[in-house]
Structure 1
């Protein structure tokens, strides 16, 4: 079951909230013999997270299917999607945050209401070093969302308290509510556009100042109206140069389709976070800073 991207419900009545953890969605199929961890694409990921396959030790049942998020916690104490993708197991251990139960001892629980499934989950699973049941909150969505923003977490999942678990469905019974951070970046180039952007550009290539250098911070390819694409193209064309403004230069894959600019335009963008490499993640254009 998947959440639909949305905003906070207008009223808290009938809604529970969980923190949205930034990791890999995972199902754990547990029985007496072994635990199989499964990705959303159906791939077996057990070998990637060996420390979590011991979760059966904390199960107060013979078998179960659990749903949750596989996390890796960074040095700052926050989940890091970047570390999930390229973690070193000898340095960063995984933690499986379990938020739902689909089956216990061969009996499906998907037709039970959300709050009933949560109560069963807390009875059937005891916390361990590499798995936990994160708390949920009935009501209080606005305060909890503000708290996640203050802690630089991704946001919330809102779930109807009476909703059943609809396998394989993206539904508005679950809402994904994201915090977005606004940052100012320098436009140092753009990539070649294709299709309906063949006359403008594909994405902005942006950077942030690091001492006296302009460090490459990735691309911004969304958030543009057609009018914005055309206006930015007109503003950028006179600034084209053969000299890359970024130090160090971006990877070769970026340079192959790049047109460099004198770094004179600054934009405000919304991002989920900066990755460990210093690149913007889930970036969307907001405005040129000079337009304020």
Structure 2
């Protein structure tokens, strides 16, 4: 019997959200964590990130719970999340998950293989029904992602009020197309977040240690790194120290940013002695309030580093807000 293997995750697009009255769609929470593909082959379980990096050691409680599922072989798509005291997923909190200081949940939202059956061409609703049946007696921290298709507008409003990051709208009859960014899945954001590449950092001021702010950018269609903003908030002593250690081994003399874009920023007003450039391979998750007309972001806050996305894949994401 052929061993089940990794499936490149299907991704949601940032297209215009569907009308809440359109009955072709169902909705579920947009989780703020790490995408995780769980693969069970008999007694062997693997938990892999979207980049196929192993998460087994970091989240052993998820691996143990998947191993106890009443099926010999399966592949599940889901999100590994840390929960704050109000039960909301938090990317900042998951940075401390190794220390066992926060509760972890694996929200399973799709079943790709069950036994020897490849389910990816089945309608989404059927895959979810099979997934719910498989997880009916699942052990924590594995839980099914709850979806809804009634009172959509009211439910989205309630989700926004409790501080959820957003929702994902999915076509009820959609197939699972591995590796694609499909218009059948659409992100609906209540707040703005995305990944940015770190291209440098400034010197700290006052009593602050490590660095003052990170210089952030994204890649355009010509593979140029476009400067977007600096971020100096959202750090604690631990994340300042750990991020600074990673920056120090990446220092370089030349700016990685596109020169024309960098000229628009205040970092080139006067000498650049207080800015250190780095190899642009670190990716940060950032929340912010809006994009400005000149291509910058306002009120950025650092949420954490991502090791599950290559820096060259970081682009400016179109904004699709809930109606």
TM-score by length of 1: 0.65
Q: Name the structure 2 match of 1:249.
A: none
Q: Name the structure 2 match of 1:12.
A: 22
SS in 2 for 1:53: helix
Q: Report the CA distance shift for 1:273/1:100 in structure 2 as closer, same or farther (over 3 A).
A: farther
Does the CA-based 8 Å contact 2:213-2:232 persist in structure 1? Answer: no
In structure 1, distance between residues paired with 2:76 and 2:155: 25
1:72 to 76, 79, 82: 82
Structure showing greater radius of gyration is: 1
- Residues 137-152 of structure 1 aligned to structure 2 (within 5 Å): 137-152=148-163
Does the CA-based 8 Å contact 1:12-1:139 persist in structure 2? Answer: no
Does the CA-based 8 Å contact 1:180-1:270 persist in structure 2? Answer: no
- Residues 1-292 of structure 1 aligned to structure 2 (within 5 Å): 1-10=10-19, 11-56=21-66, 58-125=68-135, 126-180=137-191, 202-205=227-230, 255-256=275-276, 275=303
1:270 Cα deviation from its structure 2 partner: 5.7
1:141 Cα deviation from its structure 2 partner: 3.3
1:127 Cα deviation from its structure 2 partner: 3.1
SS in 2 for 1:48: coil
Q: Report the CA distance shift for 1:25/1:160 in structure 2 as closer, same or farther (over 3 A).
A: same
Does the CA-based 8 Å contact 1:70-1:96 persist in structure 2? Answer: yes
1:7 Cα deviation from its structure 2 partner: 3.4
Does the CA-based 8 Å contact 1:181-1:270 persist in structure 2? Answer: no
Ranges in structure 2 where 5+ consecutive residues have no aligned partner: 1-9, 194-211, 221-225, 234-259, 278-290, 306-313, 317-323
How many pairs are equivalent?
229
Q: Report the CA distance shift for 1:168/1:190 in structure 2 as closer, same or farther (over 3 A).
A: closer
Q: Name the structure 1 match of 2:206.
A: none
Q: Report the CA distance shift for 1:22/1:91 in structure 2 as closer, same or farther (over 3 A).
A: same
In structure 2, distance between residues paired with 1:60 and 1:30: 11
Q: Report the CA distance shift for 1:100/1:191 in structure 2 as closer, same or farther (over 3 A).
A: closer
Q: Report the CA distance shift for 1:60/1:271 in structure 2 as closer, same or farther (over 3 A).
A: farther
Q: Report the CA distance shift for 1:204/1:21 in structure 2 as closer, same or farther (over 3 A).
A: closer
More strand by share: 1
Q: Superposition RMSD on alpha carbons, in Å? A: 3.9
Q: Name the structure 1 match of 2:311.
A: none
1:8 Cα deviation from its structure 2 partner: 2.3
Q: Report the CA distance shift for 1:229/1:147 in structure 2 as closer, same or farther (over 3 A).
A: farther
In structure 1, distance between residues paired with 2:216 and 2:163: 33
In structure 1, distance between residues paired with 2:23 and 2:129: 19
Q: Report the CA distance shift for 1:162/1:189 in structure 2 as closer, same or farther (over 3 A).
A: closer
